[in-house]
Amino acid sequence: MAFSEEFLAMWEHIIDEVHKTEIPLECIKKVVIKLHGKKQRTINLQTLRRQGLDSEELETVLSRALSELGDQVRDVEFLVDVSAVAELVQPETDKLLNNLK
């Protein structure tokens, strides 16, 4: 489903207000693991999905990476896939708004 830039900007604003720990794995585009010493490791979940990995396999990849990096991990950033969130949430939003009429 293709969304306009304005529509995605609206969702971007909404997503910025949500704690990233509450976003489903299927709505995460990339995970950036920040390490001590200004190094980082990026896991592109979007690419892995295109290669055929399912959610369970993605969780395994992330768990393994975090386990292997252990004490080197300083922080973890989740880059949200705005289109995926919009696709997931917009139909429910439409239903709610239609019920208000």
Q: Which domain holds residue 95?
A: 5-99
With cut-offs at 50, 70 and 90, classify the pLDDT of residue 4: confident
Reply yes or no on whether the pLDDT at 96 is more than 70. Answer: no
Predicted confidence (pLDDT) per residue in 14-68, tens digit: 666 666 666 788 889 999 999 999 899 999 999 999 999 999 999 999 999 999 9
Tokens of 57: 């396999």
Q: Strands, DSSP E only, in the chain?
A: 28-35, 40-44, 73-80
Rg (C-alpha) for the chain, rounded Å, is 16
Q: Look at the chain and report how many structural domains it folds into.
A: 1
Q: State the pTM of this model.
A: 0.70
3-state secondary structure of 30: strand
Residues 25 and 45: beta-carbon distance below 8 Å:
yes
| H-assigned helices in 28-71 | 45-50, 55-69
